[in-house]
Structure 1
Amino acid sequence: MGRSGPETGSPSVPPVRRPAVDWRIRFAVLSLIWGFSFLLIKVGTQAYVPLQVTLGRMVFGTAVLIAVLAVRRERMPRGARTWGHLAVAAFFLNGLPFSLFAYAELTIPSTLAGICNATTPLWGMVLSIVALSEDRPTRRRVVGLGIGFAGVLTVLGAWQGFSGQDPAGTVMALVASLSYAVGWVYVRRTLAGTGNSHLAMSGSQLLLGTAQLALVTPLFTTFPSAFPVLPLLSVLALGAFGTGFAFLLQYGLVAEVGPTTASMVTYFIPVVATAAGVLVLGEAITWNTPVGALVVLVGAALTQGRRRFAGRGAIMAKGGPARSPAGHRTGMAGVQADR
């Protein structure tokens, strides 16, 4: 559900009653929830294998959205074609990236995973140039792409053998971010203008992603012999808050302040993820990590430029960061700035 994120044209969002809580507070809460997702993944994998963490995340996230759909009495999408496209979107925006980030964090710090997540807009720009004929490159965006990937190399300490980071784990985190971008491009091309609400599309997407994981997980894992409280609570929070409740927050922000402002959450996620990893998990960082992360964010911002946003569509439902128009943790298919 990306990025989701976390990343277009102004989506057609139905009028909503202005919430009592100021949008800036909800924006800050969303940044914290998505930023802490990487810490929760790390804690969850201390007791459960990555696929189990992902499945649990999907189950709890889906439960939240389905419950909201039931309360609002909104119908699920109709048509085999729509459900088929949603199944593909669920794979690229939920099942695959969620699983890859979980596997990556077996060998890399949660701080690095959070920073890799911020590369989604960079991947998204590359893919949008190839797959979206109306999305032409500009000099500013090409420069941003180069700056962004230079920032990735800085984070990894490429001049000194990648600073001891595990290559396999790092590649999995980067591929997870690429998957968000692929899913975002796919959603824009296949699910825009379906006439269904963002909530219904997102809930359906998560439901399909949960079904996919429910079929795959038993084939590659065995049932847990124990359920330690802290990892279990981490998985529950990752799903219910980081995937379900976070989407509802983003949906409300987009309706109130628009997709451009809501998408700015993308640039706070790696900051929160880094702070959480260092302060809570005691992960060590060197100077190149925050400096490289800043360079990545500058490059990502430049790649976005001033672009028109696409119309209505599905929600990215990444559960993680919404992603930018160019590319998560899993936003809306009409909202992205993700993450």
Structure 2
Amino acid sequence: MSAAVSRMSLVRLIALGLIWGSVFLFIKIAGYSFSPVQMVFARLVLGAIVLLPFVYSRGGRLPKGGAIWGHLTVAALLGNAIPWVLFAWGEQHGSSSVAGVVNSTTPLWTIVGAYVLGQDRKLTATKIGGVLFGMVGTIIIAAPWHAGSAGSTSSIVAFVVGTVSLGASFAYMGKFLAGRGIPPLTLAAAQLTAASALLLVAMPFAGLQPVHLRADALIAIAVLGPICTGIAYVLNFQLITKDGPTVASTVTYLFPIVSVALGALVLSEPAGWPLYVGAIVSVAGVMLVRRKPKAAAQASSPSPAPAAAKG
């Protein structure tokens, strides 16, 4: 790899890490005006508005057929509707820093989901250890021995359930949507479209609360949709196709750093030792589950992986 390519890879990686790591800050700010369902619906629609023209400008088109859209709807439910609403709801009373750190454990739950779906029946000691590390890290962050250290219990539960759902969506997409010859960016655009439809259905039941407009909340929505959802997918697609999935996967390690830093600097959120120690333990777990034996790493090809949504 040339030095120029290496520099561009680093630029793309840092840009995506900053964008996706800042999601939790903007979710917190958008929550000052919008309910969770309102926020997620706006984010999905704005993200789809960015992605769909990009897909069609490259000669692509949305997939056809009831079966594929059925799978896309399930992926949208698991990967967008459920986790994004839960994170938005949890941040109403919880910390954006904690949300970002818990979200970084998504790869651990992807491993569990892949095992449940029969995709990976070879759970090595390293992978099992990684999952256990992640669980321990989450417990440390929750700090049940120190009530209120990381936010309300309900917010922690919402973050964990949302992350498990997100991990399950990766596994589901790997089983039912990958390998169909559909570009990852097209899958992402289609998934956002399906998720927008799901939230539109939910709006009459959970999205009609009064909106108290604030400038900072409107700016947060404008960033969450087009940038954190739409443009971020384009960057992720470029990372996968130009730099390989191994490089793209390392963006996960930047989430907790960015979310904790922004939470402390912008929102003045308390970040005691449980958050820092839990983040380190959780990231160590993610590194373990993503570690491949040398022989397997050499044999694997850098084929694009399906894009999926972050928290």
Specify if TM > 0.5.
yes
Deviation string 1:250-286 (CA, Å, 9 cap, x unpaired) is 1101111100011100011111000000001111111
Q: Is 1:300 equivalent to 2:286 in the alignment?
A: yes
Judged with a 3 Å threshold, the aligned counterparts in structure 2 of structure 1 residues 189 and 237 are, in CA distance, closer, same or farther, namely: same
Deviation string 1:105-138 (CA, Å, 9 cap, x unpaired) is 0111100101110121222222222222444111
1:35-46 residue pairs with structure 2 within 5 A? 35-46=21-32
Q: Percent identity?
A: 32
Tell me by how many angstroms 1:226 deviates.
4.3
Q: Is 1:153 equivalent to 2:145 in the alignment?
A: no
Deviation string 1:213-234 (CA, Å, 9 cap, x unpaired) is 0111122232645432210110
Q: TM-score, normalised by structure 2?
A: 0.91
Aligned equivalent of 1:70: 56
1:263 to 249, 264, 269: 249
Q: Is the 8 A contact 2:46 2:226 kept in 1?
A: yes
Aligned equivalent of 1:98: 84
Judged with a 3 Å threshold, the aligned counterparts in structure 2 of structure 1 residues 301 and 21 are, in CA distance, closer, same or farther, namely: closer
Judged with a 3 Å threshold, the aligned counterparts in structure 2 of structure 1 residues 314 and 255 are, in CA distance, closer, same or farther, namely: closer
Cα distance in 2 for partners of 1:39, 1:97 equals 16
Q: Is 1:55 equivalent to 2:16 in the alignment?
A: no
1:44-193 residue pairs with structure 2 within 5 A? 44-161=30-147, 163=149, 165-193=151-179
Q: Is the 8 A contact 2:127 2:289 kept in 1?
A: yes
Cα distance in 2 for partners of 1:89, 1:262 equals 21
1:277 to 246, 256, 263: 263
**Larger mean Cα displacement after TM superposition, 210-219 or 163-172:** 163-172
Cα distance in 2 for partners of 1:136, 1:77 equals 32
Cα distance in 1 for partners of 2:147, 2:60 equals 53
Tell me by how many angstroms 1:19 deviates.
8.5
Structure 1, unaligned stretches of length 5 or more? 1-17, 321-328, 330-339
Tell me by how many angstroms 1:163 deviates.
2.9
Aligned equivalent of 1:210: 196
Instruction: Select the structure that is richer in helix.
Output: 2
Judged with a 3 Å threshold, the aligned counterparts in structure 2 of structure 1 residues 175 and 310 are, in CA distance, closer, same or farther, namely: farther
Cα distance in 1 for partners of 2:103, 2:25 equals 13
Amino acid at match of 1:149: M
CA RMSD after TM alignment: 2.1
Tell me by how many angstroms 1:70 deviates.
2.9
Amino acid at match of 1:92: L
Q: Is the 8 A contact 1:92 1:180 kept in 2?
A: yes
Aligned equivalent of 1:315: 307
Judged with a 3 Å threshold, the aligned counterparts in structure 2 of structure 1 residues 284 and 311 are, in CA distance, closer, same or farther, namely: same
Q: Is the 8 A contact 2:245 2:302 kept in 1?
A: no
Tell me by how many angstroms 1:197 deviates.
1.9
Cα distance in 1 for partners of 2:150, 2:212 equals 33
Cα distance in 2 for partners of 1:19, 1:302 equals 27
Structure 2 counterpart SS, 1:22: helix
Cα distance in 2 for partners of 1:137, 1:106 equals 37
Cα distance in 1 for partners of 2:301, 2:35 equals 38
Cα distance in 1 for partners of 2:100, 2:65 equals 36
Judged with a 3 Å threshold, the aligned counterparts in structure 2 of structure 1 residues 193 and 133 are, in CA distance, closer, same or farther, namely: closer
Q: Is the 8 A contact 1:188 1:310 kept in 2?
A: no
Amino acid at match of 2:144: A
Judged with a 3 Å threshold, the aligned counterparts in structure 2 of structure 1 residues 66 and 20 are, in CA distance, closer, same or farther, namely: farther
Q: TM-score, normalised by structure 1?
A: 0.84
Judged with a 3 Å threshold, the aligned counterparts in structure 2 of structure 1 residues 20 and 158 are, in CA distance, closer, same or farther, namely: closer
Q: Is the 8 A contact 2:240 2:304 kept in 1?
A: no
